[in-house]
């Protein structure tokens, strides 16, 4: 019945809510300067690139997806030039300050995206990961970072680096938001978490750590045991497994490396295969531009880019064979609900402006670990484990290609037990 208070306009009063609220409403985010945003130049980390390219005429689908879900974009972030570094240093735009360790590199190439999340400037951010550019800065800045299964999230509107490895990834401070972003970008249905039926611990990979391995493994093991029991944990030597199951790696074996303590020869070979194909695809994407513009490039990056320009197609077919063999080998190892736990990187972030020669040992170990998901195309999440000696500690979990939802749900379920174990570890300083 109409009343005086509504001016007699209504037959009946009721409220109909929209069928669902926008899932990311109220959240803020930033995007790496590798994503197209309509009306803005995609700078690709280098002023010569920005100077020679016009404004984007459309916005990358990954960015549109989070905008349409209600999130607010607050800007673009600094990145390493042409995405060709895992350090996070940029001589043109400055190096974003690592909130966890201001005298250390933030990690790259998605440096600004990781720093913006770690410094609580945004709730989440988008980056890209080709050789490690989400996983490394997440580890160095003490936050969560997710590299999805290769080819699952659209890279349209993202400046390519090397298409065989390029992925759109994202950062968050907690796994709940990480999972929400993942469900949106991966278009996943809501599903109950599934318990892993095996958790593979490659002891040889944890021996690469420069900090006591117990500081990583014990926090992880105790959290996993609390949730799933100890019987699901299996120990292996991943280097031997890969050596036996990926025969094409023999073309990339370097006998001179086998006696060095920090090496796992089969994973060093895997890294060599990945970086060769990466150089070749980078050259095909950007070689003409580099040769014609001769851009001003920072130290380390300049050498890598010009090495890529000189790359030929020798062994490229073998690189693709290695990818297929590793994908099959790790699929057999993990099956549907298996998890592989590895260090994300071999140690804490290096100091700012460390000479490239001094970083070589770190890079060899880092790319040995990073190439596992990179070459197989599997999904990987970086999980922060607090601080050791006032520097951030992290671990990674991998699941088979297409198991992104399973992995994201698992990480969310680990959140509380991990917090408890991190608190214990930090109080005991182990």
Tens-digit pLDDT profile for residues 49-61: 999 999 999 999 9
- The residue annotated as part of the active site, out of 85, 109, 248, 266, is 109
Contact 267, 239 (CB under 8 A): yes
Domains with residue ranges and CATH for the chain: 23-427 (3.90.1300.10)
- Give the residue among 389, 366, 363, 364 at the shortest CA–CA distance from 215: 389
Task: Look at residue 260 and tell me whether its pLDDT is greater than 80.
Answer: no
Residue 276's pLDDT is what? Answer: 98
Residue 386's pLDDT is what? Answer: 98
Concerning whether 32 is annotated as a catalytic residue, the answer is yes
Q: How far is CA 140 from CA 117, 243, 284, 319, in A?
A: 12, 30, 31, 29
Other CB atoms within 10 Å distance of the CB of residue 287: 16
Residue 353 vs residue 52, higher pLDDT: 52
The phi, psi pair for 32, rounded to 5°, reads: -60, 145
Strand order in the sheet with 72-77: 72-77, 28-32, 124-129, 167-172, 144-147, 379-388, 391-399, 338-342, 198-202, 233-236
Contact 145, 139 (CB under 8 A): yes
Provide CB contacts within 8 A for 309, sequence distance 6+: 283, 287, 290, 291
- Arithmetic mean of pLDDT, 347-357: 91
Task: Look at residue 29 and tell me whether its pLDDT is greater than 50.
Answer: yes
Concerning whether 358 is annotated as a catalytic residue, the answer is no
Quick: pLDDT tens for 87-101: 999 999 999 999 999
The Cα 153–Cα 180 span in angstroms is 15
399-402-405-407 Cα dihedral, nearest 10 degrees: 0
Concerning whether 271 is annotated as a catalytic residue, the answer is no
Rg of the chain over all Cα atoms, to the nearest angstrom = 22
Other CB atoms within 10 Å distance of the CB of residue 197: 13
Give residue 360's pLDDT band: very low, low, confident or very high (50, 70, 90). Answer: confident
- Arithmetic mean of pLDDT, 313-323: 98
Provide CB contacts within 8 A for 306, sequence distance 6+: 290
Task: Look at residue 357 and tell me whether its pLDDT is greater than 90.
Answer: no
Q: Which residue is associated with the tokens 């939802």?
A: 405
Q: What is the mean pLDDT of the chain?
A: 94
- Arithmetic mean of pLDDT, 177-189: 96
Give residue 1's pLDDT band: very low, low, confident or very high (50, 70, 90). Answer: very low
The tokens describing 104, both together, are: 């250390």
Contact 289, 267 (CB under 8 A): no
Residue 245's pLDDT is what? Answer: 98
- Arithmetic mean of pLDDT, 382-411: 98
The phi, psi pair for 388, rounded to 5°, reads: -135, 125
Task: Look at residue 430 and tell me whether its pLDDT is greater than 70.
Answer: no
The Cα 308–Cα 288 span in angstroms is 12
**pTM for this model (two decimals):** 0.94
- The residue annotated as part of the active site, out of 85, 133, 223, 272, is 133
Residue 2's pLDDT is what? Answer: 47
Contact 265, 239 (CB under 8 A): yes
- Give the residue among 59, 60, 31, 34 at the shortest CA–CA distance from 46: 34
């Amino acid at each position: 019945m109409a009343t005086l208070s509504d001016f007699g306009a209504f037959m009946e009063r009721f409220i109909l809510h929209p069928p669902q609220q926008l899932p990311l409403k109220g959240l803020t985010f930033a995007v790496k300067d590798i994503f197209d945003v309509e009306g803005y130049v995609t700078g690709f980390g280098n002023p010569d690139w920005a100077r020679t390219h016009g404004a984007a005429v459309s916005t990358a689908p990954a960015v549109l997806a989070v905008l349409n879900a209600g999130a607010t974009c607050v800007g673009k972030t600094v990145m390493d030039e042409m995405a060709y570094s895992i350090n996070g240093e940029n001589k043109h735009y400055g190096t974003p300050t690592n909130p966890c360790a201001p005298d250390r590199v933030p990690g790259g190439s998605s440096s600004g995206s990781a720093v913006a999340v770690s410094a609580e400037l945004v709730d989440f951010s988008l980056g890209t990961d080709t050789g490690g550019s989400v996983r490394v800065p997440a580890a160095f800045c003490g936050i969560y970072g997710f590299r999805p299964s290769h080819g699952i999230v659209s890279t349209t509107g993202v400046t390519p680096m090397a298409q065989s490895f390029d992925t759109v990834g994202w950062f968050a401070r907690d796994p709940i938001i990480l999972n929400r972003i993942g469900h949106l970008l991966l278009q996943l249905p809501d599903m109950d978490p599934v318990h892993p039926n095996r958790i593979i611990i490659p002891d040889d990979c944890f021996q690469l750590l420069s900090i006591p391995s117990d500081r990583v493994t014990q926090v992880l093991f105790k959290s996993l045991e609390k949730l799933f029991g100890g019987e699901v944990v299996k120990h292996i030597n991943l280097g031997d497994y890969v050596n036996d199951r990926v025969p094409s790696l023999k073309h990339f074996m370097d006998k001179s490396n086998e006696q060095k303590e920090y090496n796992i020869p089969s994973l060093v070979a895997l890294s060599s295969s990945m970086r060769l194909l990466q150089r070749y695809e980078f050259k095909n994407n950007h070689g003409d531009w580099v040769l014609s513009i001769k851009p001003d490039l920072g130290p380390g990056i300049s050498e890598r880019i010009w090495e890529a320009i000189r790359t030929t197609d020798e062994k490229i077919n073998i690189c693709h064979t290695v990818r297929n063999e590793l994908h099959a080998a790790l699929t057999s190892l993990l099956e549907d609900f298996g998890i592989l736990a590895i260090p994300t990187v071999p140690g804490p972030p290096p100091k700012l402006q460390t000479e490239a020669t001094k970083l070589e040992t770190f890079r060899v170990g880092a790319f040995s670990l990073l190439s596992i998901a990179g070459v197989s195309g599997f999904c990987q999440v970086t999980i922060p484990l607090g601080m050791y000696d006032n520097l951030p500690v992290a671990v990674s979990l991998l699941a088979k290609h297409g198991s992104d939802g399973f992995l994201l749900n698992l990480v969310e379920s680990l959140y509380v037990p991990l917090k408890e174990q991190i608190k214990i570890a930090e109080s005991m300083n182990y």
